[in-house]
Amino acid sequence: MAKTRKFSTFKEQKYKRHQIRWILLGFLVFYVLYSFFTEFILSTWVLENDTMQPNLRSGDRFICSSYTFFRLLPDFSWLNAAPPLRRGNVVVVDMALKEPPGLAKSLLDGGARFFTFQRLSFGDRGGQAYMKRVIGLPGDEITMINYVFRVKPRDGTYSFTEFELWEKPYDVTIPGQAPALWDGSLPFSGNIEPFILGDGECFVVSDDRSNTNDSRTWGPVPLDYVVGKALFRYWPVTRLGAP
């Protein structure tokens, strides 16, 4: 049995080429809008460890605001503006901003995260972004006694425990008593001598106080390193709500 071969007319071929161009253009527009939205308005983050126990758990997913826009404003400085943070907020701190990536690396990173549904990142940014709780803001006096922080707000007269300064209650995991011979200046000891945060600085910590991968070892964090604030936990569905 002979097979017939169907030939496309020039008009049909031209129409198909236009279709492909419109599809590619639509995909490009979607990618640009998606990148703009997740970079400057809202983004999603996954907590990949248990450093925020008992309040937040590994695998929790959050919708976070973005503070990237502020860094792009000409001559903008947190020294001259009130930070959009409150004590007790859970924030995303990007320690990779110690060495800001160039434009090319940022574009490659955005593309990698987009096409792999946030599973892969170009470079080491993914391993240097942490979710932590804000304890102190610029000008606050901070001290820690037995793993619990006390804060005297800027221009304040009295100091308060961290729990008194945040309207939404949260718990912390307190490790066992540190050895008596440990130097009290070490973060592992559970005690920190009083010090005052500088302008443009904040102090962020883990809710699990046995984990010291936070300002107790980094020191005060520049507000420029805070890339977003956790607004809503959308997964798992059994624990929906503000963090």
In a domain, 47, yes or no: yes
Supply the range of the domain harboring residue 147.
42-102+123-239
Residue 7 lies in a domain: no
Domain assignment present for 108: no
Domain total of the chain: 1
Which has the closest alpha carbon to 186: 151, 154, 144, 241? 144
Walking along the chain (243 residues) 10 residues at a time, the average pLDDT comes out as 57 74 82 73 86 93 82 61 84 81 58 60 64 94 93 92 89 74 60 91 93 88 90 92 88
Dist. CA 174–CA 102, nearest whole Å: 40
Give residue for tokens 């009290």: 184
The Cα–Cα gap between 231 and 212 comes to 24
pTM of the full structure: 0.77
Of 200, 199, 196, whose CA–CA distance to 224 is shortest? 200
CB contact burial 143-179 (16+ within 10 A = b; e otherwise): bbeebebbbbbeeeeebeebeebbeeebebbeeeebe
Residue 86: which CATH number? 2.10.109.10
